[in-house]
Amino acid sequence: MKIKWFGQSCFLITAENGAKVLTDPFKNMLGYKLPEIEADIVTTSHDHADHNNINAVKGRFTHIQKAGAYLENGISIQGVATFHDKVSGAKRGKNTVYNFSIDGINVCHLGDLGHLLDSKQLAAIGKVDIILLPVGGGPTTIGAADAIEVVQQLDPAMVIPMHYRTKALWVFGFLFEKVDKFIAASNLKAQKCKELEINKENIKKYQDKEIVVLEYE
């Protein structure tokens, strides 16, 4: 599969059979720009404008926006209910975590997770190989310290950070921490690439955990 990051929490995951999953498409409001894109499956973790702009997606697609079990285009998806804050959604509402089973690899998109996961949520999410993890903190998601604990909870082979400060955010960058803070605190190896290409065989070399920072173009 291939994983490409478009900024914030938006990724395009392309399976070996060509099926495309787009997560959390955004309105062009923060500094990131979403190109014209087609997908077979679009997931939204919550109903905020920087995560739910399905109108930006071309063609016919299945929109998934709540917890439950789904099977689309050969891709198994488990949606798990969580919250956007540490007070059961009282401040920022609900959030849905999605665990995608694609090409024999489980990729978990945590959306705007605002808290550590409890035992029921961890059981519902199940085995995870790659996590797409918010690390920017501020008023919107978990920051570096909690993100590290979530890594320990889910125990993936690979961590791909998202929802952090980049140059593209301009004045909105002050809302988030930089990814460097998370990397330094994690004590994990980190590498950068423009697009990740991974399969069941080559993911085995990441069993000691590694951070892969996808560069925004």
3-state secondary structure 2-50: EEEEEECCEEEEECCCCCEEEECCCCCCCCCCCCCEECCEEECCCCCCC
| Amino acid present at 131 | I
Assign domain 2-202+209-214 to a CATH class: alpha beta
CA 154/CA 137 separation, integer angstroms: 19
Sign, CA dihedral 134-93-129-145, equals positive
pLDDT in tens, the chain (217 residues): 999 999 899 999 999 999 999 999 998 777 788 888 999 999 999 887 677 789 989 989 999 999 999 999 999 999 999 998 888 878 876 999 999 999 999 999 999 999 999 999 999 999 999 999 999 887 778 999 999 999 999 999 999 999 998 888 776 667 788 999 999 999 999 999 999 999 998 897 776 789 999 998 6
Containing 182, the helix (H) or strand (E) segment is helix 179-186
- Structural domain spans, the chain: 2-202+209-214
Sign, CA dihedral 29-165-34-63, equals negative
Provide the pLDDT for residue 171.
Answer: 67
CA 216/CA 2 separation, integer angstroms: 15
Provide the pLDDT for residue 173.
Answer: 64
- Other C-beta atoms within 10 Å of 56: how many? 16
Provide the pLDDT for residue 49.
Answer: 62
| Amino acid present at 128 | V
CA 44/CA 50 separation, integer angstroms: 10
Residue 215 DSSP class: P
